[in-house]
Structure 1
Amino acid sequence: MSTESTPHRFGTVALVGQPNVGKSTLLNAMLGLRLSIVTPKPQTTRHRILGIVTRPDAQIALLDTPGLHRQTRRALNHQLNRIARQAPEEADVLVHVIDGPKWNDEDEAIWKLLAPLGKPVLLAVNKVDKLADKTRLLTFAAQVTREHDYAGVHFLCARRGDGVAVLLDDIAQLLPEGEAAYAEDEFTDRSERFLAAELVREQLMLLLGDELPYATAVEIEQFEDTAKITRIGAVIWVEREGQKGIVIGAAGAQLKKIGSAARRGMERLFERRVHLELWVRVRESWSDDAAALKQFGYTD
């Protein structure tokens, strides 16, 4: 509990990094629950996801963001990069997440984006469990911090939760003083409708081929709570007629598999029974259509 000598702190923290470095896994580990969807595919995260950690000494508003990437051919890619660049400007503390003790041109570009903001930046070296020789970590940290003014370096395995508690302690100390902005039992500002759509999209990323998930979007058309069950109707949008059959599968088997897995995820998160219906529809080139991006919730 905060006292006069240890004032309560509140602030926003942006998790920033390349695609597929483990930002969403880290957010979930910090929260102790699965808020952000996680798949092995890059660019799984398409939205800014707020997760709230409430402690006796601080309340930490964590922002998971899309990975910064150079492929910006489509309107959707431009929007994801805009979201990823905007979040650090709004945050009080920044966490630069990288994939193990490796530093490349993309990491350097992200550092150059963050450094001029004049905010504390922590370096989170994730997936260190994959490294056999752990002595390399200290050498790597010394090399990086010689040329980059990080407020601290943390070695993590976000998937297992290793190092996460210490990182949260460091973040809390860097936040400005302030009262909590959210109720103690809140863990996000996102609606259950949004979370339901994300859970369907997670299964599309996991169960479909390498390219097809990027041509899909999910829109919730029905969300009705009753005393015994929540009824949800969702549309899976694809960009071409040929993709529709792939999502549905032979005799509807693929769509049934997607729906069953998504429904189980919803029931775990919402802690009640869910009846889920899915439909697949075509909207040509939706990912490069400003009106479609707005309809599917990808713009402000």
Structure 2
Amino acid sequence: MKLHIKPRRIRFLTTFYCNAKCPYCHNEGQAVPVNSTMNEEFVGKLLDIVPTEEVILSGGEPTLNPHIVEIAKAVKERGIYLSITTNGTLTDRLYKLFPYLDEIKFNVDSLSKEAYEAIKQLPFEATIKNVMAAYNAGIYTKLNTPFISLANAQELLNFSESTKVEIKFIEVLELGGFSDPSLEIIKLESLLEDNGYFLEKGDLKKTWKKGNNTITTMRCLCRAAVMTGDVDDAKELCREQGSLYVTPNGEIKPCIYEEFSIPIYDSVMNGDLKSLQQKFEEFDHSFGIGLCQDIITNQKLDIEKKEQKAAIRN
């Protein structure tokens, strides 16, 4: 029996922990360490109850979960598209996942060895080696990278054109606030056009094409809501395009900025569908109640302050 809900994708935050030290990391909204109960039995039982089109394995660093291979196998046994977001440095664990993965998104900040290792405190060569190993294994391979400068973006574009590995540029979000206005993702668009890319499709998530090369630029839903002032539209976009987040200890939440979560682990493991239905109804009722409005109010103030500071500097 299945519940009468079908999220477009489920994002399993398989662990809180990570071996990288990225200073901008929001850790998918996980503020404090929790004991992970994320294992293949829980994942399999949840997917049998809650159908979805796609599963994303994330964290923290998902390859640090000792059950990660079994989790991946449980997903693929159910015929679901499987993606993982990883820093790609734990080579042995990563390669064991290759048979089950449809897509790998590697977190790569820079193609400068010095800059990469200064940001992540991880070995640069291991990451790039594993990026190319995934690509050559026929897995859909992307680099997820924060937009930190036009010069850095140009190096990544050059890499994409020489290797055909797709790049996804993401606006850097500060905890509780948006990025510096000088680093808004829209600033990247003129560079893409100068490099011969054309906009194929998209609004918040834009796809740019140049021959066989694909570049994606991504800004968050809340940013769009701030710009338009339309909270209701933001909520609907989030419902339509967002993921159902499942935390390492088996709770569900709608957003990385939302501290509110609902425990479902025991209900899933016990097969208590009545309890699960009640919990998902509570989740649906609470979704976006006050959250979007609070974020938008705070973000507008934050953007105004940063724009004022930028104007003073200039």
Q: Same fold (TM over 0.5)?
A: no
Relative to its length, the structure with more helix (as a share) is 2
**TM-score category of the 2 structures, normalised to the smaller one:** 0.3 to 0.5
TM-score (structure 2 length as normaliser): 0.32
| TM-score between the two structures when normalised by the length of structure 1 | 0.33
